[in-house]
Amino acid sequence: MRQRIAVISDIHSNLEALEAVLAEIDRLGCQEIICLGDLVGYGPDPEASVDLVMERCGVVLRGNHDDALFRPVLDFNPIARNAINYTRKIMKPGLVRAGRKAKRWEFLRHLPLQQLRGDWLLVHASPNDPLKEYLLKTDLLFCRDKIAEALERTPRLAFVGHTHFPGVFDEKLRFHEPRDLRDGQYRFGDGKAIINVGSVGQPRDKDPRACFVTVEADGARFHRVEYDFTAVQQKILASGPFDEFSAARLARGE
Ligand code: ZN
Protein backbone atom coordinates (compact mmCIF):
# COMPACT_ATOMS: atom_id res chain seq x y z
CA MET A 1 0.00 0.00 0.00
CA ARG A 2 1.18 3.53 -0.74
CA GLN A 3 2.44 5.44 2.24
CA ARG A 4 0.10 8.35 2.95
CA ILE A 5 0.68 10.63 5.94
CA ALA A 6 -1.63 13.38 7.17
CA VAL A 7 -0.18 16.60 8.60
CA ILE A 8 -2.45 18.83 10.68
CA SER A 9 -1.81 22.01 12.68
CA ASP A 10 -3.43 24.82 14.67
CA ILE A 11 -6.48 23.05 16.06
CA HIS A 12 -7.01 25.78 18.66
CA SER A 13 -9.50 23.90 20.83
CA ASN A 14 -11.97 23.54 17.98
CA LEU A 15 -13.27 20.01 18.60
CA GLU A 16 -15.86 19.99 15.81
CA ALA A 17 -13.26 20.94 13.18
CA LEU A 18 -10.80 18.34 14.53
CA GLU A 19 -13.40 15.56 14.46
CA ALA A 20 -14.35 16.42 10.87
CA VAL A 21 -10.70 16.40 9.78
CA LEU A 22 -9.96 13.07 11.51
CA ALA A 23 -12.99 11.50 9.83
CA GLU A 24 -11.72 12.65 6.43
CA ILE A 25 -8.19 11.41 7.24
CA ASP A 26 -9.66 7.99 8.09
CA ARG A 27 -11.68 8.00 4.88
CA LEU A 28 -8.49 8.72 2.90
CA GLY A 29 -6.73 5.77 4.58
CA CYS A 30 -3.74 7.64 6.06
CA GLN A 31 -1.30 5.46 7.99
CA GLU A 32 -0.07 8.18 10.30
CA ILE A 33 -1.03 11.65 11.56
CA ILE A 34 1.50 14.36 12.43
CA CYS A 35 0.37 17.42 14.42
CA LEU A 36 2.45 20.62 14.23
CA GLY A 37 1.11 22.23 17.41
CA ASP A 38 -1.25 24.91 18.72
CA LEU A 39 -3.67 22.34 20.08
CA VAL A 40 -5.19 25.00 22.35
CA GLY A 41 -6.08 28.70 22.37
CA TYR A 42 -9.04 30.63 20.87
CA GLY A 43 -11.63 27.82 21.02
CA PRO A 44 -13.96 26.43 23.70
CA ASP A 45 -12.88 22.74 23.93
CA PRO A 46 -9.22 22.42 24.95
CA GLU A 47 -9.46 19.20 26.98
CA ALA A 48 -11.40 17.11 24.46
CA SER A 49 -9.21 18.43 21.62
CA VAL A 50 -5.98 17.51 23.43
CA ASP A 51 -7.36 14.05 24.30
CA LEU A 52 -8.14 13.37 20.65
CA VAL A 53 -4.72 14.56 19.44
CA MET A 54 -2.99 12.40 22.11
CA GLU A 55 -5.01 9.43 20.98
CA ARG A 56 -4.66 9.84 17.21
CA CYS A 57 -1.36 11.58 16.37
CA GLY A 58 1.99 9.78 16.25
CA VAL A 59 4.01 12.99 16.36
CA VAL A 60 2.87 16.14 18.20
CA LEU A 61 4.94 19.33 18.33
CA ARG A 62 4.73 22.42 20.51
CA GLY A 63 3.02 25.57 19.22
CA ASN A 64 3.34 29.05 20.69
CA HIS A 65 -0.15 28.81 22.24
CA ASP A 66 0.65 25.46 23.90
CA ASP A 67 3.88 26.99 25.16
CA ALA A 68 2.04 30.03 26.55
CA LEU A 69 0.22 27.84 29.09
CA PHE A 70 3.49 27.51 31.01
CA ARG A 71 4.72 31.09 31.20
CA PRO A 72 3.39 34.62 31.69
CA VAL A 73 1.68 35.69 28.46
CA LEU A 74 3.04 39.10 27.58
CA ASP A 75 3.39 38.99 23.82
CA PHE A 76 -0.14 37.94 22.81
CA ASN A 77 -2.96 40.22 21.67
CA PRO A 78 -5.84 40.54 24.17
CA ILE A 79 -8.04 37.94 22.43
CA ALA A 80 -5.30 35.30 22.36
CA ARG A 81 -4.23 36.16 25.92
CA ASN A 82 -7.76 35.85 27.35
CA ALA A 83 -8.18 32.49 25.64
CA ILE A 84 -4.91 31.15 27.05
CA ASN A 85 -5.71 32.33 30.57
CA TYR A 86 -9.13 30.66 30.29
CA THR A 87 -7.53 27.46 28.93
CA ARG A 88 -4.97 27.37 31.75
CA LYS A 89 -7.74 27.77 34.33
CA ILE A 90 -9.64 24.80 32.88
CA MET A 91 -6.65 22.55 32.28
CA LYS A 92 -4.18 23.12 35.10
CA PRO A 93 -4.33 20.24 37.57
CA GLY A 94 -4.77 20.89 41.28
CA LEU A 95 -2.22 20.12 43.96
CA VAL A 96 -2.87 16.41 43.79
CA ARG A 97 -1.46 15.73 40.37
CA ALA A 98 -3.15 12.57 39.28
CA GLY A 99 -5.51 11.31 36.63
CA ARG A 100 -6.48 12.58 33.24
CA LYS A 101 -5.91 16.28 33.95
CA ALA A 102 -2.31 15.75 35.03
CA LYS A 103 -1.62 13.48 32.08
CA ARG A 104 -2.80 16.12 29.59
CA TRP A 105 -0.90 18.88 31.38
CA GLU A 106 2.39 16.98 31.40
CA PHE A 107 1.88 15.97 27.78
CA LEU A 108 1.55 19.64 26.77
CA ARG A 109 4.45 20.71 28.97
CA HIS A 110 6.85 18.25 27.31
CA LEU A 111 5.91 18.72 23.66
CA PRO A 112 9.06 18.86 21.49
CA LEU A 113 9.91 21.98 19.47
CA GLN A 114 10.81 20.20 16.28
CA GLN A 115 11.50 16.85 14.71
CA LEU A 116 13.81 15.81 11.92
CA ARG A 117 12.50 12.85 10.01
CA GLY A 118 14.77 11.77 7.17
CA ASP A 119 14.91 14.83 4.95
CA TRP A 120 11.78 16.39 6.42
CA LEU A 121 11.87 19.05 9.12
CA LEU A 122 8.69 19.28 11.18
CA VAL A 123 8.16 22.48 13.15
CA HIS A 124 5.27 24.70 14.27
CA ALA A 125 6.37 28.10 12.94
CA SER A 126 9.60 28.29 10.92
CA PRO A 127 12.94 26.53 10.44
CA ASN A 128 14.52 29.82 11.63
CA ASP A 129 12.53 29.88 14.88
CA PRO A 130 10.41 26.83 15.70
CA LEU A 131 7.93 28.65 17.91
CA LYS A 132 7.33 32.21 16.77
CA GLU A 133 8.47 33.33 13.33
CA TYR A 134 5.74 33.92 10.72
CA LEU A 135 6.55 32.95 7.14
CA LEU A 136 4.10 34.94 5.04
CA LYS A 137 3.48 35.35 1.33
CA THR A 138 4.02 39.09 1.74
CA ASP A 139 7.56 38.37 3.00
CA LEU A 140 8.41 37.62 -0.63
CA LEU A 141 7.94 41.35 -1.27
CA PHE A 142 9.34 42.84 1.91
CA CYS A 143 11.48 40.23 3.61
CA ARG A 144 12.91 37.81 1.07
CA ASP A 145 16.00 37.09 3.18
CA LYS A 146 13.82 35.55 5.88
CA ILE A 147 12.27 33.06 3.45
CA ALA A 148 15.67 32.35 1.83
CA GLU A 149 17.16 31.68 5.26
CA ALA A 150 14.28 29.36 6.19
CA LEU A 151 14.86 27.42 2.97
CA GLU A 152 18.58 27.20 3.74
CA ARG A 153 17.70 25.57 7.06
CA THR A 154 15.32 23.15 5.32
CA PRO A 155 16.83 19.72 4.58
CA ARG A 156 14.56 19.01 1.60
CA LEU A 157 11.05 19.57 2.88
CA ALA A 158 9.81 21.52 5.87
CA PHE A 159 6.25 21.29 7.19
CA VAL A 160 4.97 24.30 9.16
CA GLY A 161 1.72 25.83 10.41
CA HIS A 162 1.38 28.95 12.62
CA THR A 163 0.20 31.54 10.06
CA HIS A 164 -3.10 29.71 9.32
CA PHE A 165 -2.44 30.40 5.60
CA PRO A 166 -1.88 27.18 3.60
CA GLY A 167 0.55 27.08 0.69
CA VAL A 168 4.07 26.24 -0.46
CA PHE A 169 7.27 28.29 -0.63
CA ASP A 170 9.59 26.85 -3.27
CA GLU A 171 13.32 27.26 -3.77
CA LYS A 172 12.80 29.95 -6.40
CA LEU A 173 11.15 32.07 -3.70
CA ARG A 174 7.63 31.72 -5.02
CA PHE A 175 4.51 31.03 -2.98
CA HIS A 176 1.92 28.61 -4.35
CA GLU A 177 -1.59 28.87 -2.91
CA PRO A 178 -3.60 25.63 -2.91
CA ARG A 179 -6.17 27.03 -5.35
CA ASP A 180 -3.38 27.66 -7.91
CA LEU A 181 -2.22 24.04 -7.73
CA ARG A 182 -3.65 21.38 -10.03
CA ASP A 183 -6.01 19.21 -7.94
CA GLY A 184 -4.67 21.04 -4.89
CA GLN A 185 -1.48 19.03 -5.15
CA TYR A 186 2.10 20.30 -4.96
CA ARG A 187 4.43 17.90 -6.74
CA PHE A 188 7.85 17.53 -5.19
CA GLY A 189 10.68 18.37 -7.58
CA ASP A 190 14.42 18.36 -6.99
CA GLY A 191 14.36 21.63 -5.07
CA LYS A 192 13.48 22.31 -1.47
CA ALA A 193 10.03 23.40 -0.32
CA ILE A 194 8.37 24.71 2.83
CA ILE A 195 4.79 23.52 3.09
CA ASN A 196 2.36 25.38 5.29
CA VAL A 197 -0.45 22.96 6.10
CA GLY A 198 -2.96 25.66 7.14
CA SER A 199 -5.20 25.48 10.20
CA VAL A 200 -7.75 22.90 11.33
CA GLY A 201 -9.58 25.07 13.83
CA GLN A 202 -9.16 28.65 12.68
CA PRO A 203 -8.47 29.12 8.95
CA ARG A 204 -7.63 32.72 8.04
CA ASP A 205 -7.59 32.58 4.26
CA LYS A 206 -11.26 33.57 3.92
CA ASP A 207 -12.31 29.93 3.59
CA PRO A 208 -14.03 28.77 6.78
CA ARG A 209 -13.49 25.06 6.07
CA ALA A 210 -10.91 23.16 8.13
CA CYS A 211 -7.58 22.69 6.34
CA PHE A 212 -4.94 19.94 6.37
CA VAL A 213 -2.43 18.19 4.10
CA THR A 214 -1.73 14.62 3.04
CA VAL A 215 1.76 13.64 1.88
CA GLU A 216 2.80 10.83 -0.44
CA ALA A 217 6.17 10.10 -2.07
CA ASP A 218 5.58 12.42 -5.02
CA GLY A 219 3.74 15.35 -3.49
CA ALA A 220 1.58 17.05 -0.87
CA ARG A 221 -2.16 17.59 -1.30
CA PHE A 222 -4.25 20.27 0.41
CA HIS A 223 -7.69 19.32 1.70
CA ARG A 224 -10.63 21.37 2.99
CA VAL A 225 -13.40 19.94 5.14
CA GLU A 226 -16.71 21.52 6.10
CA TYR A 227 -17.70 21.29 9.74
CA ASP A 228 -20.43 22.69 11.96
CA PHE A 229 -18.88 26.00 12.96
CA THR A 230 -22.21 27.30 14.26
CA ALA A 231 -22.00 24.73 17.09
CA VAL A 232 -18.55 26.09 18.00
CA GLN A 233 -19.79 29.67 17.80
CA GLN A 234 -22.61 28.88 20.21
CA LYS A 235 -20.19 27.38 22.73
CA ILE A 236 -17.87 30.36 22.38
CA LEU A 237 -20.68 32.83 23.04
CA ALA A 238 -22.06 30.80 25.95
CA SER A 239 -18.84 30.34 27.91
CA GLY A 240 -15.55 31.80 28.98
CA PRO A 241 -14.02 35.17 28.27
CA PHE A 242 -14.54 35.11 24.52
CA ASP A 243 -15.78 38.09 22.55
CA GLU A 244 -18.06 38.10 19.51
CA PHE A 245 -15.17 38.39 17.08
CA SER A 246 -13.84 34.99 18.23
CA ALA A 247 -17.15 33.46 17.12
CA ALA A 248 -17.69 35.56 13.98
CA ARG A 249 -14.23 34.88 12.51
CA LEU A 250 -14.97 31.13 12.23
CA ALA A 251 -17.77 31.80 9.73
CA ARG A 252 -15.58 34.15 7.67
CA GLY A 253 -12.34 32.20 7.80
CA GLU A 254 -10.29 35.04 9.24
ZN1 ZN B 1 -2.05 28.99 15.59
How far is the C-alpha of 93 from the C-alpha of 135, rounded, in Å? 35
Number of domains in the chain: 1
Q: Does residue 141 lie in a domain region?
A: no
H/E stretch holding 20 reads helix 15-27
Q: Does residue 60 lie in a domain region?
A: yes
Say if residue 221's pLDDT is above 80: yes
57 CA to middle of ligand 1, Å?
17
- Number of residues that this document lists for the chain: 254
**Residue 243: per-residue pLDDT:** 83
Average pLDDT, rounded, for the chain: 95
Q: Does residue 246 lie in a domain region?
A: yes
83 CA to middle of ligand 1, Å?
12
Say if residue 97's pLDDT is above 70: no
181 CA to middle of ligand 1, Å?
24
113 CA to middle of ligand 1, Å?
14
How far is the C-alpha of 67 from the C-alpha of 51, rounded, in Å? 17
132 CA to middle of ligand 1, Å?
10
The CATH number for 228's domain is 3.60.21.10
Q: Tens of pLDDT along 15-40?
A: 999 999 999 999 999 999 999 999 99
76 CA to middle of ligand 1, Å?
12
Show Cβ contacts of residue 234 under 8 Å, excluding neighbours closer than 6 positions: none
162 CA to middle of ligand 1, Å?
5
2 CA to middle of ligand 1, Å?
30
Say if residue 1's pLDDT is above 70: no
Comparing CA positions, the residue from 49, 41, 125 lying closest to residue 76 is: 41
161 CA to middle of ligand 1, Å?
7
66 CA to middle of ligand 1, Å?
9
Q: Does residue 206 lie in a domain region?
A: yes
Q: How many CA atoms lie within 13 A of 90 on its CB side?
A: 21
How far is the C-alpha of 89 from the C-alpha of 47, rounded, in Å? 11
How far is the C-alpha of 147 from the C-alpha of 193, rounded, in Å? 11
Say if residue 95's pLDDT is above 80: no
Say if residue 154's pLDDT is above 90: yes
How far is the C-alpha of 254 from the C-alpha of 246, rounded, in Å? 10
32 CA to middle of ligand 1, Å?
22
Q: Tens of pLDDT along 165-216?
A: 999 999 999 999 999 999 999 999 989 999 999 999 999 999 999 999 999 9
Amino acid (1-letter code) at residue 98: A
State percent of the chain over pLDDT 90: 92
Q: Does residue 144 lie in a domain region?
A: no
Write out the residue range of the structural domain in which residue 105 sits. 5-114+183-188+197-252
42 CA to middle of ligand 1, Å?
9
Q: Does residue 224 lie in a domain region?
A: yes
Amino acid (1-letter code) at residue 83: A
